[in-house]
Structure 1
């Protein structure tokens, strides 16, 4: 079973995503970027679902830190931010696999996860 790290500071979204995804994946939830980086230092994940807008350590900084540490894990960014498209080029440069605007369907997230977990199936 593929291992996912799901990171979101909103407990309702974190719980919902964990519940919906754990039927197909081994899901580890994290409520902030600091914990996410700590978990990535302790274990490996096949993909990361990462919220952009979080206090203390936002998703962009987590993604930057992952890449600086040489962590190539595919990252799917999620955000309710209206200007997500404006940030997309920067996130692609940092190696983000995809970006989804909240609210998104679980089917869209699962599609992106499948693409990320099976290279050659598609990208941004």
Structure 2
């Protein structure tokens, strides 16, 4: 079973994303970018669902740190965010995101993007 790391600081959203994905994937969670970096090293996820705005280390800082590691630089990243300006998306893509999902989203929105990226 493929493994997904869900990184989200809002506990209710974290649970929602986990519940949407856990029937099809092994789901590991983290509440900020710093914790997520540790989980990436321990768990080697196949894909990361990443909130953009978080305390401690935000999604962009997390991407910058993740991409420094050759071993982890090719893990697909789905950014989940309320920031829907073109500049925000461009910055995310430049830093390493493969897809964006805007809040609020449906279970189908999340599953479709994850399935596209995780099933080569």
Q: Same fold (TM over 0.5)?
A: yes
RMSD, aligned α-carbons: 1.1
Count of residue pairs brought into register by the alignment: 118
Counterpart of 1:81 in structure 2 is 83
Q: Which runs of 5+ in 1 are unaligned?
A: 120-124
Runs (5+) with no aligned partner, structure 2: none
* TM-score, normalising length: structure 2: 0.92
Q: Using the alignment, how far apart are the partners of 1:37 and 1:8 within structure 2? A: 13
Within 1, Cα distance between the matches of 2:110 and 2:87? Answer: 20
Q: TM-score, normalised by structure 1?
A: 0.90
Deviation per CA, 1:53-109: give whole Å up to 9, x if none: 0012000010111111121100000011243x3211222122211011100111111
**What pairs up with 1:56-75 in 2 under 5 angstroms?**
56-70=56-70, 71=72, 72-75=74-77
Aligned to 1:92: 93
- Counterpart CA distance in 2 for 1:26 and 1:87 is 29
User: 1:100 and 1:20 mapped to 2: Cα distance?
Assistant: 14
Worse-matched range after superposition: 44-53 or 91-100: 91-100
Q: Where does 1:1-124 land on structure 2 (aligned, <5 Å)? A: 1-70=1-70, 71=72, 72-83=74-85, 85-119=86-120
